[in-house]
C-alpha cells in the first residue's frame, strides 16, 4: 500500500461499491452548483419525487449569466432572469447554501470555493462545469459533470465513474520573468495535445509547481480539462496548508492539526507507480499565446504561426480550419497581431494575484486608442480586496473598465460579447469558434500580463519588453 498516488488513495476512500457495469460508485464530498446546469437537474429530481440527499454538502453560486456592469433585477435578459430565479427557488426549497449577488461571497464557482476554504485536500468534488479541475490544486479529485450527473449527485451524493489512469507531469526549474502558470499549462497542452489526457488524471509535480502559489496552481489545474484530462492535481504541501489556514470552512484548533496530518498522508507516495510520466524544463517555456481554435494550437511569443507542412497528416484539417477562421497567416509572427478587445478575468486568471500582477504592467501606461479593455474580478471578495489595494484605480486610470464579478466574456452568456470578427486577447481558457459571444469572434489565450501588454500596444506583444 505504499506505492499509491493521491488519486488512488482518494478514489479508494470514496468508493461506495463496484457496480455490475465495472464502474465505481464514488461518494462526492462537495457538490458545487450554479445557475446554468442545475435547473434541469432539480426539475428531474422533482419529476421523480426525490429530495436533495445532502443539502449541507451542496453549495450554490451564480456566475455565468450575471451582467458585470448593471446587476439591477430583473435582469434585462429574460432567460438569465429565469435561470437566476430557478436557482434562488431551488436552493431555498432545498435548504442549500447560496451565495447570491451582493452577499459578498458571490463569484465564479471555481473562485469562491477555494477562497472560502470549502475546497480541501483529499476530497472528491463535483460541479456541472468543465473547469472543476481547478480544485485539484489542493490535492482534491475534482470532476466536471453533465446535467444528468448533477441530478445523480443531488439525489445520491454519488457518481458512477470509470477509474482513470494517472500521468505524472513533472516540470522542473525556475520560470523566467514574464512567464507565468498560464504559460506553463498552455505549453503542456501544446506539447501533449488537447486529447493527450483523455482517460487520465494529471498529477503536476516537480520544482516548478512546488514553487507556485495556490492561485498559480489553480490556473494550471483549471486547464487540465483543455488537455483532455478529466482532472488534474498537485499534492498538498505547506503552501496548501498556509493558504487554507484561517479560511471560513477550514478546520480550526485541534481539528486543524488532525486535518493537516491526514492531508499529508493523502499525498502520492514517493514510490507511487504512474501509468505515464512526462517531463518538461521550465527554462524552455516563454510567454505563450494561442493562434488557433483549440487551446493546443499555441506558440511561444517569439515563434511564427506554424505552416501546414509542420503538422502531421491527421492534424492538418484542424490547422486549415484554424487558418481560415482566425484569418491569420501561417509562417507569420503572432507578435504584432492587432487586437480589438482585452479581457482579464475568468476562473483561470480572475483571482487577486492575477489582477495584482496585471496591474504592475498597467501603472503609468494607457490602453491603446480603439482597444476596449476590461477587468472582471473572479468574485465579490476578489473585487473588494483589489479595490482595497487601489487596483481598480490603476486599471481605470489607464483606460480599462472595472466590472462586477462573474464569468463575463470567458463564455459570453451575459452581455459581454465580441462583435463580428473582433480579435480578443483573453486571460480565459477556451478559444473555440464563437466562444466569446460572436460566431466569427476570434480569441487569443494568454496570461493576464500578456493581455495588459496587448492592451497597451494594441497588438500582441511580448510582456518581457515591459519589464
Ligand atoms: S469563467 Fe469561463 S470556464 Fe470558468 S466557470 Fe465561468 S464560463 Fe466556465
Each residue of 117-171: pLDDT tens digit? 999 999 999 999 999 999 999 999 999 999 999 999 999 999 999 999 999 999 9
- Mean pLDDT value of segment 345-363: 98
- How many C-alpha atoms does 247 have within 13 Å on its Cβ side? 19
| Atom number in ligand 1 closest to CA 350 | 1
Residues paired with residue 279 on neighbouring β-strands, in sequence order: 170
Give the pLDDT score at 1: 52
How many residues in total does the chain contain?
Answer: 467
Residue 325, judged by CB atoms within 10 A of its CB (0-12, 13-18, 19+), counts as: middle
Q: For residue 132, is it left (φ>0), alpha (ψ between -120 and 50) or beta?
A: alpha
Ligand 1 geometric centre to CA of 202 (Å): 20
Residues with CB under 6 A from ligand 1: 63-64, 108, 110, 129, 131, 346-347, 407, 410-411, 428-429
Compute φ and ψ for 138, nearest 5 degrees: -95, 0
The residue contributing the CA closest to ligand 1 atom 2 is 410
3-state secondary structure string across 277-344: EEEEEHHHCCCEEECCCCCCCEEECCCECCCHHHCCHHHHHHHHHHHHHHCCCCCCECCCCECCEEEE
Give the pLDDT score at 321: 98
Question: How far, in Å, are 27, 92, 214, 390 from residue 152 at the CA level?
Answer: 11, 19, 31, 44
Distance CA 134, CA 148 (A): 21
Between strands 24-27 and 158-161, the pairing is antiparallel
Distance CA 189, CA 298 (A): 8
Q: How confident is the model at residue 110 (pLDDT cuts 50, 70, 90)?
A: very high
Question: Any idea of the CA torsion for 452, 227, 12, 108, to the nearest 10 degrees?
Answer: 30
Pull the grid cell for residue 369: 486608442
Pocket test for ligand 1, best of 80, 112, 131 (most atoms within 8 A of CB): 131
Each residue of 189-234: pLDDT tens digit? 999 999 999 999 999 999 999 999 999 999 999 999 999 999 999 9
Pocket test for ligand 1, best of 108, 443, 448 (most atoms within 8 A of CB): 108
pTM (predicted TM-score): 0.98
Amino acid at each position: 500500500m505504499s506505492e499509491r498516488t493521491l488519486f488512488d488513495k482518494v478514489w479508494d476512500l470514496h468508493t461506495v461499491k463496484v457496480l455490475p457495469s465495472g464502474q465505481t460508485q464514488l461518494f462526492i464530498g462537495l457538490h458545487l452548483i450554479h445557475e446554468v446546469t442545475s435547473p434541469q437537474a432539480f426539475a428531474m429530481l422533482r419529476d421523480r419525487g426525490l429530495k436533495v440527499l445532502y443539502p449541507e454538502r451542496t453549495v450554490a453560486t451564480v456566475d455565468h449569466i450575471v451582467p458585470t456592469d448593471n446587476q439591477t433585477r430583473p435582469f434585462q435578459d429574460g432567460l438569465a432572469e429565469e435561470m437566476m430565479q430557478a436557482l434562488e427557488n431551488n436552493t431555498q426549497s432545498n435548504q442549500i447554501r447560496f451565495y447570491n449577488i451582493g452577499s459578498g461571497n458571490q463569484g465564479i464557482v471555481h473562485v469562491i470555493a477555494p477562497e472560502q476554504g470549502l475546497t480541501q485536500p483529499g476530497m472528491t468534488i463535483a460541479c456541472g462545469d468543465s473547469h472543476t479541475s481547478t480544485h485539484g490544486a489542493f490535492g482534491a479529485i475534482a470532476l466536471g459533470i453533465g446535467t444528468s450527473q448533477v441530478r445523480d449527485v443531488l439525489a445520491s451524493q454519488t457518481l458512477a465513474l470509470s477509474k482513470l489512469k494517472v500521468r505524472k507531469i513533472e516540470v522542473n526549474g525556475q520560470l523566467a520573468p514574464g512567464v507565468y502558470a498560464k504559460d506553463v499549462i498552455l505549453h503542456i497542452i501544446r506539447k501533449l495535445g488537447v486529447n493527450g489526457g483523455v482517460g487520465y488524471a494529471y498529477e503536476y509535480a516537480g520544482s516548478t509547481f512546488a514553487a507556485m502559489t495556490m492561485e498559480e496552481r489553480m490556473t494550471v489545474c483549471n486547464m487540465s480539462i483543455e488537455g483532455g484530462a478529466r482532472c488534474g492535481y498537485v499534492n498538498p504541501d505547506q503552501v496548501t496548508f498556509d493558504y487554507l489556514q484561517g479560511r471560513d470552512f477550514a478546520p480550526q484548533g485541534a481539528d486543524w492539526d488532525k486535518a493537516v496530518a491526514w492531508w499529508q498522508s493523502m499525498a502520492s507516495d514517493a514510490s507511487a507507480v504512474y501509468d505515464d510520466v512526462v517531463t518538461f524544463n521550465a527554462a524552455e517555456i516563454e510567454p505563450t499565446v494561442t493562434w488557433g481554435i483549440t487551446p493546443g494550437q499555441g506558440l511561444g511569443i517569439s515563434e511564427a504561426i506554424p505552416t501546414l507542412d509542420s503538422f502531421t497528416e491527421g492534424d492538418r484539417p484542424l490547422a486549415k480550419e484554424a487558418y481560415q477562421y482566425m484569418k491569420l497567416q501561417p509562417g507569420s509572427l503572432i507578435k504584432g497581431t492587432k487586437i480589438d478587445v482585452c479581457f482579464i478575468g475568468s476562473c483561470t486568471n480572475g483571482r487577486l494575484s492575477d489582477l495584482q500582477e496585471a496591474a504592475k504592467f498597467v501603472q503609468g501606461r494607457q490602453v491603446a486608442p480603439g482597444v476596449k479593455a476590461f477587468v472582471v474580478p473572479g468574485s465579490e471578495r476578489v473585487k473588494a480586496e483589489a479595490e482595497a489595494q487601489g487596483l481598480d484605480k490603476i486599471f481605470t486610470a489607464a483606460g480599462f473598465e472595472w466590472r462586477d464579478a462573474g464569468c463575463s466574456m470567458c463564455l459570453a452568456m451575459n452581455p459581454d460579447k465580441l462583435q463580428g470578427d473582433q480579435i480578443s486577447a483573453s486571460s480565459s481558457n477556451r478559444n473555440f469558434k464563437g466562444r466569446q459571444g460572436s460566431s466569427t469572434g476570434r480569441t487569443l489565450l494568454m496570461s493576464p500580463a500578456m493581455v495588459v501588454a496587448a492592451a497597451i500596444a494594441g497588438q500582441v506583444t511580448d510582456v518581457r519588453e515591459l519589464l
